[in-house]
Amino acid sequence: MELPQVQALPEDIRFAIEVVGNVLPFKTNNYVVNELIDWDNVPNDPFFHLTFPQRTMLKDHHFNKMADVIRSGASKDEIKATANEIRFELNPHPAGQMEKNMPTLGCEKMQGMQHKYRETVLFFPSQGQTCHAYCSFCFRWPQFVGIDELKFAMREADLLVEYIKEHPEVTDVLFTGGDPMIMKTKVLASYIEPLLEADLPNLRTIRIGTKALGYWPYKVVTDKDADDTLRLFEKVAESGKHLALMGHYSHPRELQTPIAQEAIRRVRNTGAQIRTQSPILRHINDDSQTWANLWTEQVKQGLIPYYMFVVRDTGARHHFDIPLEEAWDIFRGAYQDVSGVARTVRGPSMSAEPGKVQVLGVSEVKGEKVFVLRFLQGRNPDWVHRPFFAKYNPNAVWLDDLEPAFGEDEFFFQKEFDAMNANGTANGEYVKTDPMALAADE
Ligand SMILES: *Cc1c(COP(=O)(O)O)cnc(C)c1O
Ligand code: SF4
């Protein structure tokens, strides 16, 4: 670590950074280091936790295993081998991310795509599988550590176009990563322009999931191709499609620097909208005031609060997770504190295998304490917005920890979800598509 700020830290913190940084991907940049992290507040600073490896991100046995290897003076290869052993024990692909949602075109598996919810296809441009800095909680971490078989990436924009043509139910494409805004504008354009040029009447919204506005606002202000990016955004608006940036903002500080505000202003001037989302995380944003400030500041700058997520079960989750009840408390406290224009936000929401499940709250029904839940997105769209109930469990941090309330055997969606898994429809598109029926339509 050559950074003077890091060299000034106590030896044990520096050693922890080295040990954990060999297992989990670590990347920061001078904007994060100089503008976002408050070094007087380290080790408690939220951005220090968000981007720097921390001792407790690894469980003791994993930490000690790597620490011993490093202390023994092992070679780079030995360190890497140990790192990979540990990584495979960290649930690199939670919620069936890899195998469950991969669509097919003809007989070909679409490696760089996921199609889980009817309207929206996720697309992973192969050159956008990295970020300006890495968040230490991120479930995308396997993509950053160079385990090739875990990478899902795809290049061919024409395959994407073809897929959308064959799937008239798709209205949204969501470019994701990593961070697609890490790509040079020329490359980003090579994915987006074919979508505008093709005749795709069903495609209404192009979304770009990005943390660049938080971690590298220069991307749209002073980078060499900043203006080209803005022209590309304008082109989308002119084509009659909606461009939505799904901006990842974890903490109000990311909205407060002059350059971050200038970035927002410039993006909004292109006609693009910025919707915002973040997981709720211990050490980063685990109180209502932070969220109320975050949403209020966003609305003030013209952003639309969209999702509060529950952190997924992967990597260093145990360092960040928050029981569902507490997450709901924090959400509610913040929601009550903001005006209606900021209440576009929904959460806390778990992106679980059957769908996005929102914790509506804790309640009591006929003497039984329960969680009230509902789908915000479902593998079957018909599941959406039906309240359902789970037995109260103060320790639950994820849907898997919950059981149906009222002594029922299973949740209302379970049979159908099991059937999808059994007949393979959860293994590709969200519904069976009959290729003959499609051919007949054309
Ligand atoms: C969240 C998500 C989407 C987008 O859902 P919206 O509710 O429309 O924002 C699409 N696909 C997957 C796999 C998702 O997790
Ligand atoms: S910016 Fe997004 S994809 Fe990149 S590390 Fe952070 S959460 Fe993960």
Going by the DSSP 8-state scheme, the letter that residue 36 receives in this structure is I
- The pLDDT-based confidence of 148 (bands split at 50, 70, 90) is very low
Q: What is the pLDDT of residues 399-412, one digit of tens each?
A: 999 999 999 999 99
Given a cut of 50, whether residue 439 has pLDDT beyond it is no
For position 190, what pLDDT does the model report? Answer: 87
Higher pLDDT, 91 or 46: 46
**pLDDT tens digits for 225-270?**
999 999 999 999 999 999 999 999 999 999 999 999 999 999 999 9
User: 313 vs 175, which has greater pLDDT?
Assistant: 175
Distance 55 CA to ligand 1 centre (A): 32
Check whether 424 has a pLDDT greater than 90.
no
By DSSP bridging, strand 368-378 and strand 388-391 are antiparallel
- Is the pLDDT score of 429 beyond 80? no
Residue 158: band (very low, low, confident or very high) from pLDDT cuts 50, 70, 90: confident
Residue 40 pLDDT > 80, yes or no?
Answer: yes
Q: Please tell me the predicted confidence (pLDDT) of residue 437.
A: 28
**Whole-number pLDDT of residue 149:** 40
In CATH, what is the architecture of 98-342? Answer: Alpha-Beta Barrel (3.20)
The whole-chain average pLDDT of the chain stands at 89
Query: What separation in Å is there between the alpha carbon of 66 and the centre of ligand 1?
Result: 36
Confidence at 54, pLDDT banded by 50, 70, 90: very high
pLDDT category at 150 given cuts 50, 70, 90 is very low
The whole-number pLDDT of residue 433 equals 32
For residues 221-249, one letter each, b for 16 or more C-beta atoms within 10 angstroms of the residue's C-beta and e for the rest, the string is bebebbebbbebbebbeebebbbbbbbbb
Return the axis-axis angle of helices 60-71 and 11-21, rounded to nearest 10°.
100
Q: Percent of the chain at pLDDT above 70?
A: 88
Q: Is pLDDT of 387 > 80? A: yes
pLDDT grade for 168, boundaries at 50, 70 and 90: very high
- DSSP per residue, 14-73: HHHHHHHHTTS-----HHIIIII--GGGTTT-HHHHHHS--GGGS-HHHHHHHHHHHHTT
Give Cα 230 distance to the centre of its chain: 24
Q: Does residue 289 have a pLDDT over 80?
A: yes
Asked which of 171-185, 193-207, 212-226, 424-438 is least confident by mean pLDDT, the reply is 424-438
The verdict on the CB of residue 140 being under 6 Å from ligand 2 is yes
Note the ligand closest to the C-alpha atom of 376: 1
Q: Which atom of ligand 1 is nearest to the CA of 116?
A: 13
Pocket test for ligand 2, best of 31, 49, 129, 135 (most atoms within 8 A of CB): 135
Q: Pick 428 or 89 by higher pLDDT.
A: 89
Residue 249 has what pLDDT? 98
Q: Which two tokens stand for residue 321?
A: 């997770």
Dump pLDDT digits (tens) for 195-219.
999 989 999 999 999 999 999 999 9
- Tell me the sheet residues that pair with 274: 245
Torsion 106-108-109-111 (CA) sign: negative
Instruction: Judge whether 170 and 164 are in contact, CB under 8 Å.
Output: yes
pLDDT (0 to 100) of residue 434: 30
Which ligand approaches the C-alpha of residue 215 most closely? 2
pLDDT value of residue 312? 87
Smallest-distance ligand from the CA of 47: 2
3-class secondary-structure state, position 405: coil
Q: Which atom of ligand 2 is nearest to the CA of 140?
A: 8
Q: Name the band, by pLDDT with cuts 50, 70 and 90, for residue 146.
A: low
DSSP secondary-structure letter at 27?
-
| Atom 1 (ligand 2) nearest CA | 211
The closest of 212, 173, 211, 209 to 193, measured between CA atoms, is 173
Q: Taking the domains of the chain in order of start, what are their residue ranges?
A: 4-87, 98-342, 352-442
